[in-house]
Structure 1
């Protein structure tokens, strides 16, 4: 069995979850961690039994100790850090969103091609058994007429913002905001299932920091419509639905799909949830390692094309909401 030696960039709660999930993947070997300070690197290394630490990113990228890197740094750093590692021949599993904008994503994809290394966006729900259950059963509901998805989760950091404290979640310098953080969960599965929309119409609330607090987006496809709602300043319990002429597929949530139901127009109902015995983050790790082992540069589901289309959509949403990031001008 081949082991893939991973380095870690980003010592946050998402990384903790990834490393917890990685315990279920025997091919994952945790080798190194990077942090800007030696103290934080050592603390994280001790917590997760990581043998090597780095405080200079270039040294980690060029190190023969690792084969791949998981990047969970702020969004604005995804592109430059990923490109650095790929230019040193390292495979990259990069947290969502893949980049600050579509232009950065194109340059990342070019780096993957030039260096013949794997690049994959760590978008977890689209690689889970329940998403494949949705995908495999979608033909049973007839002609698709609407996709609707909602992910609204009030952020505790918003309370601090109202008190005048700016944290990373609402900082445009880090390419953050509602659509980048949680809105992407409603958009990416839509792209995987239906491709690129013909038309986008966005409304939302822009916060004092210059990022979006929430959004409501309508999409036009041939023969169908799509609507997504997302927010970091309000809660919702609405499900995700794919509505067809013969029935509707309902997912309880879109970021973590626990239950999937198929309701036919004639009143019949079927539970189509798939067994899901693994950690929610396991599937993206396994997919990524499969790609590196087989010499493939991209996933068929979390593909370069799907990641690029998603960022092109988000770029248009931000344009309509007049949300600009400093990163938008870096590679232009």
Structure 2
């Protein structure tokens, strides 16, 4: 995979050190805004990135990369992915895919029409611990309750209260707890159980953005609750309760350090089959394989999952009266 990195923010800085363990990925190019040009220049030098751009359209036209890693702010995903696909590039897009479901649907159709790989970078779907937990579901009896809480006080929330609106709290830029944190919970639940029958979102809304909220997902025989907050902080918890046993996840739903198996209050077992310390390692190993083999069957399967997640997001926004983007 010859990669053009679109973006130079936190996620890129976090990911780049990992690439030393990913020999199947060639860091071909990086594109940034003109404002971040010096930062991108420093990253390019440190990680041996051959091509550097401060103009995305120029980058797409001139780069030798075959794949674009879209790691720009949420509200730019749609435009960056569409331009990359139109330029004939495979695309890996950071979560959430887009702000609106219709935008995602358009991108999916375009990628499949052009026979290009399009994948969402969402860590938990590729973690070995997550796959082990999924296999364990058959042993815990009929699931009755799924509860997840990802609450993390944002270091930008104090500024928000003072009226300084940054992208993570800007509804026009896809900000808010649903898109930033609850997206991990939704991927986690939908990846295990598929599309729910009903979705409701009770959000705490300030200045038209959800600073926290409770998402409920009705699966008929069982119910799931996904809580996320950027205005409070507390223990991150994820529990799946079956009639026989319960599974308790250790760590955030995007990292999933391990999980424990309980019967009532008795701990029966502990599972930790991490392959790598960095949460993004396993997804990029899989992305490289898919692109190398042009495995469109896996692409379609991954896009079907992302489709369900995007539908849940849109239903949640509609239910809460949120107008993002």
State TM-score, norm by structure 1: 0.92
**Are the structure 2 counterparts of residues 234 and 61 from structure 1 closer, same or farther at C-alpha, using a change threshold of 3 Å?**
same
Distance verdict in 2 for CA 1:300–1:190, change over 3 Å: farther
Counterpart-to-counterpart distance in 1, 2:59 and 2:171: 27
After TM superposition, give the deviation of residue 154 of structure 1 in Å. Answer: 0.4
Aligned twin of 1:261: 260
SS of the aligned residue for 2:75 comes to helix
Structure 2 Cα separation of the partners of residues 298 and 230 of structure 1: 33
Q: Kindly tell me: are residues 176 and 260 of structure 1, through their superposed partners in 2, closer, same or farther at Cα, counting changes over 3 Å?
A: same
Residue by residue over 1:179-201, the C-alpha shift from the partner in whole angstroms, topping out at 9 and shown as x without a partner, is 10111011111111111111112
Shift of 1:40: 4.2
CA positional deviation for 1:274: 1.3
The 5 Å alignment of 1:87-166 reads 87-166=86-165
Residues 1:298 and 1:102: Cα distance change in structure 2 (over 3 Å): farther
Match of 2:21 among 20, 24, 27: 24
Report the 3-state secondary structure (helix = DSSP H, G, I; strand = E; otherwise coil) of the residue aligned with 1:218. Answer: strand
The Cα shift of 1:39 comes to 3.6
Aligned mates of 1:177, 1:61 — CA distance in 2: 31
Larger mean Cα displacement after TM superposition, 236-245 or 290-299: 290-299
Query: How much does 1:62 deviate?
Result: 2.5
Q: Decide which moves more: 177-186 or 250-259.
A: 250-259
What CA deviation, in whole Å up to 9, does each residue of 1:194-243 have, x standing for no partner? Answer: 111111122111122x2110110111112111111100111121421111
Report how far residue 265 of structure 1 moved.
Answer: 4.6
Give secondary structure in 1 for the equivalent of 2:27.
Answer: strand
Write out per-residue CA displacement over residues 128-178 of structure 1, whole angstroms, 9 at most, x where no aligned residue: 111111111111101111211110100000011122221111112211211
2:319 maps to 1:324: no
Q: Which SS does the other structure have where 2:45 is aligned?
A: helix
| Conserved? CA contact 2:215–2:225, under 8 Å | yes
Assess if the C-alpha contact under 8 Å between 2:240 and 2:247 holds in 1. Answer: yes
User: Per-residue deviation at 1:268?
Assistant: 5.5
**Partner Cα separation in structure 2 for residue 39 and residue 250 of structure 1:** 44
1:306 Cα deviation from its structure 2 partner: 1.2
Q: Deviations over 1:62-102 (max 9, x none)?
A: 23510111111111111111111112221111000011111
Normalised by the length of structure 2, the TM-score is 0.94
After superposition, residues 1-332 of structure 1 pair within 5 angstroms as: 4-37=1-34, 38-208=37-207, 210-253=208-251, 254-265=253-264, 267=266, 269-297=268-296, 299=298, 303-326=302-325
Task: Report the aligned-residue RMSD.
Answer: 1.8
Contact 1:206 1:321 in 2 (8 A): no
1:239/1:252 contact within 8 Å kept: yes
Q: Which moved further from structure 2: 178-187 or 11-20?
A: 11-20
Question: Do 1:242 and 1:250's aligned partners in 2 also have CA atoms closer than 8 Å?
Answer: yes
CA–CA separation in structure 1 for the residues paired with 2:267 and 2:56: 56
2:156 partner SS: helix
Distance 2:7 2:21 in 1: 21
The alpha-carbon distance between structure 1 residues 33 and 143, as it changes in their structure 2 partners (threshold 3 A), is same
How far off is 1:325 after superposition?
2.2
User: 3-state SS of the aligned residue for 1:62?
Assistant: helix
Q: What is the CA–CA distance in structure 2 between the aligned matches of 1:302 and 1:39, rounded to whole Å?
A: 39
Structure 1, unmatched stretches of 5+, are 327-332
SS where residue 165 of structure 1 aligns?
coil
